[in-house]
Structure 1
């Protein structure tokens, strides 16, 4: 998939995207979305092993729905919105729960939320001009993947002995790497937003008929 949006919303799509709603990837994303409050309750109530299992399952489902969508040509407009929304909501609820349990510091929560706010603030402008969002960048997917697996490991860090120590070291390495990639992708998306804004201003300045609010 292209790393930058086509500045013309009427231009050719980078890949075939259907209007279908009932697809296997969308069902998987919906199930992952329904598990969000489950993992939140488990973490807050201190059922950390059970939360660990749910988080591992959520991470696996995130990989699985992408594979199915590409392999069986089931990429859809709804899936492009549902899948990242489920990922972000899962990450948000998990980090708040982990911070509540004092497993991670609140500054890590702030770093992730600040990135979401920065990118999310540009989406209304994009959607009013015919864009469904930003094309998924490999840095963003890698960052999400790292975070989705960092937090289960940090849940295991409370276990005494070698398992807890290894989980703590590996989990923090993945978390910091994930935040770095998350912000790297965020800066790429913001640069794409800047390009879209500049393109529409140039088009309107030359008497074009670009999409407007």
Structure 2
């Protein structure tokens, strides 16, 4: 598996890809509020929450594509993009678990992967490296989970749409979770080889 390492092409902050990543970050607390509000006596706003999740998935695809096409790859963008991905995944896990839509054991499985990745960072930092670069497998895992989460919100419906969403949504959940851990294991392999050889891994 090739680790994606893209050269910084600009030091600009206000680029369209960066603005898209920033918008995803702003959407995190808004999404959490929409999902959790019913648990505190507010009305259900799942339709808006689903729209925000869908918009996040589209912007996640566009920011990287536009950055490469327009030569707007920046150090800030390389930090914002994975941060926005991770925060959206984590906030969605928290929201769906609190609502009882996602079981605790699946939450533990996904959060365990985040703890596993976090445990690699001190090792990399101690040897003079930053966080591992985003690779295709990690992006594919995130895309699968971001497709799954809106469908899981729809499973609370009692009509045919809820039944279809249940089947497709959980298929995406299992595939995304498998890829999520697979990408995490590859990050660990990358970290081990970086520490041993002091060079990037292909």
Q: Which of 8, 26, 31 is equivalent to 1:34?
A: 26
Q: Which of 50, 64, 67 is equivalent to 1:66?
A: 64
State how far apart, in whole Å, the 1-side matches of 2:6 and 2:120 are: 21
Select between 111-120 and 139-148 the one with higher mean Cα deviation: 111-120
State how far apart, in whole Å, the 2-side matches of 1:130 and 1:26 are: 26
State how far apart, in whole Å, the 1-side matches of 2:16 and 2:104 are: 36
State how far apart, in whole Å, the 2-side matches of 1:78 and 1:120 are: 20
State how far apart, in whole Å, the 2-side matches of 1:124 and 1:172 are: 34
Deviation at 1:135, TM superposition (A): 2.3
Contact 2:57 2:147 in 1 (8 A): yes
1:87-135 deviations in Å (ceiling 9; x for gaps): 1101111111101110010111111111111112212332454433222
Structure 1 spans left out of the alignment, 5+ residues:
6-12, 204-213
1:16-48 deviations in Å (ceiling 9; x for gaps): 443332221111101110110010011111321
State how far apart, in whole Å, the 2-side matches of 1:91 and 1:66 are: 18
After superposition, the Cα gap between the structure-2 partners of 1:151 and 1:133, relative to the gap in structure 1 and judged at 3 Å, is same
The aligned counterpart of 2:2 is 3
> CA RMSD of the aligned region, Å?
1.9
The aligned counterpart of 2:180 is 182
In the TM superposition, 1:9-20 aligns within 5 A as 14-20=6-12
Alignment size in residue pairs: 193
State how far apart, in whole Å, the 2-side matches of 1:193 and 1:105 are: 31
The aligned counterpart of 2:195 is 197
After superposition, the Cα gap between the structure-2 partners of 1:26 and 1:126, relative to the gap in structure 1 and judged at 3 Å, is same
State how far apart, in whole Å, the 2-side matches of 1:123 and 1:79 are: 19
The aligned counterpart of 1:9 is none
The aligned counterpart of 1:22 is 14
User: Which of 1 and 2 has greater Rg?
Assistant: 1
Contact 2:142 2:176 in 1 (8 A): yes
TM-score (norm 1): 0.84
Moved over 6 A (4+): none
Secondary structure, counterpart of 1:103 in structure 2: coil
TM-score (norm 2): 0.89
